[in-house]
Structure 1
Amino acid sequence: MRASLVAALFTAHVRLSRIPVSAAFSGASSPDPPRSSSAADSYVSRSTANPDASAPFYSGSDDRRARLDAALSDIGLEASVITDSPEFRGSAALRMYTSFILPKSEGALASAQAPQRASVIANSIAFMVREHRSHQEEWLCNHDRSLEEVRSLEGPAHPLTIILDNVRSAHNVGNILRAAEAGRLEKVYLCGMTPAPPNKKVLKTALGAAEYVNYEQMGSTLELVRNLKERGVVVWGVETTSKSRPLWKVVMPKPVALIFGNELVGVDTEVLKLCDGIVSVPTYGLKNSLNVATCASVLIWEALRQWEVEPENGTEGN
């Protein structure tokens, strides 16, 4: 029995290695010769070109292949790009394609038989193809800088402080922290009930940026505003009011603190009364305001744009 078990394991190993059993027993041990360019150019996936008829759930594979190929064609991607190209050999896209045609469990088979499943899988494969190709293009800057690269950038943090006055959504807070890190801002204050790290939802949308942001939790926005003004910081509220000045018509002072309020009630009116000025982002539809995280990003990059063009702006926006 032990001998038969060893033989079975050896045969399985040989199959996985894709070495003919006869060659293995004959003592052939030399490595395969290097693949020629012509061989690479003519590469065809074995599992998809000639699926093993003895594989579990092989029945219906031709129909699943036809459905998936048609779904891929509908979104502008030919299956041969994945199955015949060495570029996608061993790729996630090819594995997903193969798994749909030859599912490995009863559950996967039942899922593959669902009417819309081929379309869902086709879109997932198309995304994987785009992702794969984007990684091959050196001119795309779609990766984060290293800490060394960030430290090598000249200049201190931009003199812009963000104050969140009782912002409710942890997702919004995370997005704003991410924007603050990307803009290299001086500080972010999280006031009142505003969620803060290590809140999981905050960290999820911050995408790793929170640990690189200088932030602080404060109980009272009013006390914070008074303190900042005593230190010479110009404080603006960002709110839609009859007293607001359109963002496009103001000049961002240095240093400046911008206050963003709760998603439902906005910035506390008592806080607005203490502000040196109030600005708003003009809207042109039914809604009179933007999502608070979107609005914060607009204000941050407008400030950076102005300071990039004219580094020595005054405080004409007061």
Structure 2
Amino acid sequence: MMQQSIIFGSRAVIEAIKAGTDIEKVFLLKEAQNDLSKELFELIKKEKISFQYVPSQKFNKYQDKNHQGVYAKVALVKTIAIEELCESLNLETNPTLLLLDQITDVRNFGAIARTAVCTDVKGIIILDKGSAPINADAIKTSAGALFNIPVCKVNHLKDAIYHLQGSGFQVVAATEKTDEMIYNIDLNKPTAIIMGSEERGINPSTLKICDYKAKLPMYGEIASLNVSVACGAFLYETVRQKTL
């Protein structure tokens, strides 16, 4: 069974957040109100960290811990900076990267990571806020793939795109808002593919700065594919082109 790292106590959680630790979620006992817990709550709101008020029974199994009515689950996968990722890559090998714009479903995220590893994607870039947590469910759905691929968290996807373009990558957006098919884009070069959420797609302002927009052919009455399935189709097109 996969174990999660847990931090107990308001001060410990506050310091972990300030140190940049990837926090999956903070659990709070509503009755535990003091100056320290108020400081923690303000920090949680400021950093947009997921939190939940829970009944005292949730803390029963942690009676031997000095929890002070607070505990936090720490993300299981360590992330790296996008600068570190780019510096580690050899552009002559035509690496593929994947950017995810507000994909919040944990299972979709896990499935995408699994396909990414199978198609030799060199890194996944996600938003620091508003993305699916890298938790036990995501890792399970990925069949452990999230332990085998670098994951970067960025504050703004547009800044990440500019950095990638400046580093020698072409950026291809997967979107229905184009007539261009993915099969017509040359993917046998350093390429970053962006997938958007099923509800909103890719942010319009992000689309404007991409080098190419591309879509998959669609038939029948269904308007769109599940994002993990669409992502798989895009990634395997990169494999097809590289192995011709």
Q: What interval of TM-score do these two structures reach, taking the shorter chain for normalisation?
A: 0.5 to 0.7
Who is 1:68 aligned against? none
CA distance in 2 between partners of 1:270 and 1:215 (Å): 23
Which amino acid is 1:193 matched to? G
Who is 2:26 aligned against? none
CA distance in 2 between partners of 1:293 and 1:225 (Å): 21
Answering whether residue 239 of structure 2 is matched by residue 297 of structure 1, we say no
Gaps of 5+ in 1: 1-155, 310-318
Does the CA contact (< 8 Å) of 1:245 and 1:280 recur in 2?
yes
Who is 2:169 aligned against? 233
CA distance in 1 between partners of 2:121 and 2:94 (Å): 5
In structure 2, relative to structure 1, the CA distance for the partners of 1:227 and 1:244 (3 Å cut) is farther
Who is 2:143 aligned against? 207
State the TM-score, normalized to the length of structure 2. 0.59
Does the CA contact (< 8 Å) of 1:260 and 1:296 recur in 2?
yes
Answering whether residue 192 of structure 2 is matched by residue 257 of structure 1, we say yes
Answering whether residue 124 of structure 2 is matched by residue 188 of structure 1, we say yes
Select 2:204's aligned residue among 255, 269, 276.
269
CA distance in 2 between partners of 1:179 and 1:252 (Å): 17
Secondary structure at the aligned position of 2:161 is classed as: helix
Q: Which has the higher contact order (CA 8 A, sep 6+)?
A: 2
Does the CA contact (< 8 Å) of 2:112 and 2:231 recur in 1?
yes
Alpha-carbon offset, residue 284 of structure 1: 0.4
CA distance in 1 between partners of 2:150 and 2:209 (Å): 24
Alpha-carbon offset, residue 157 of structure 1: 7.3
Select 1:174's aligned residue among 98, 110, 117.
110
Does the CA contact (< 8 Å) of 1:175 and 1:205 recur in 2?
yes
CA distance in 2 between partners of 1:205 and 1:182 (Å): 14
Does the CA contact (< 8 Å) of 1:234 and 1:253 recur in 2?
no
Does the CA contact (< 8 Å) of 1:238 and 1:279 recur in 2?
yes
CA distance in 1 between partners of 2:94 and 2:136 (Å): 28
Does the CA contact (< 8 Å) of 2:188 and 2:241 recur in 1?
no
Select 1:161's aligned residue among 90, 97, 103.
97
RMSD: 1.6
Identify, as 1 or 2, the structure richer in strand.
2
Task: Choose 1 or 2 for highest CA Rg.
Answer: 1
Which amino acid is 1:195 matched to? A
CA distance in 2 between partners of 1:214 and 1:157 (Å): 17
In structure 2, relative to structure 1, the CA distance for the partners of 1:223 and 1:244 (3 Å cut) is farther
Which amino acid is 2:132 matched to? P
Alpha-carbon offset, residue 276 of structure 1: 0.4
Answering whether residue 219 of structure 2 is matched by residue 219 of structure 1, we say no
Does the CA contact (< 8 Å) of 2:188 and 2:242 recur in 1?
no
Secondary structure at the aligned position of 1:294 is classed as: helix
Alpha-carbon offset, residue 250 of structure 1: 2.6
Alpha-carbon offset, residue 212 of structure 1: 0.5
In structure 2, relative to structure 1, the CA distance for the partners of 1:240 and 1:182 (3 Å cut) is same
**Superposed counterparts of 1:57-72, under 5 Å:** none
Secondary structure at the aligned position of 1:270 is classed as: helix
Matched residues, percent identical? 24
Secondary structure at the aligned position of 2:171 is classed as: strand
Who is 1:316 aligned against? none
Select 1:306's aligned residue among 234, 241, 244.
241
Identify, as 1 or 2, the structure richer in helix.
1
Who is 2:50 aligned against? none
In structure 2, relative to structure 1, the CA distance for the partners of 1:294 and 1:220 (3 Å cut) is same
Does the CA contact (< 8 Å) of 2:100 and 2:194 recur in 1?
yes
Alpha-carbon offset, residue 201 of structure 1: 2.0
Who is 1:73 aligned against? none
Secondary structure at the aligned position of 2:122 is classed as: strand
Does the CA contact (< 8 Å) of 1:281 and 1:289 recur in 2?
no
Does the CA contact (< 8 Å) of 2:94 and 2:191 recur in 1?
no
CA distance in 2 between partners of 1:204 and 1:158 (Å): 29
Gaps of 5+ in 2: 1-91
Secondary structure at the aligned position of 2:115 is classed as: helix
Moved more, 212-221 or 271-280: 212-221
In structure 2, relative to structure 1, the CA distance for the partners of 1:246 and 1:161 (3 Å cut) is same
State the TM-score, normalized to the length of structure 1. 0.46
CA distance in 1 between partners of 2:119 and 2:179 (Å): 25
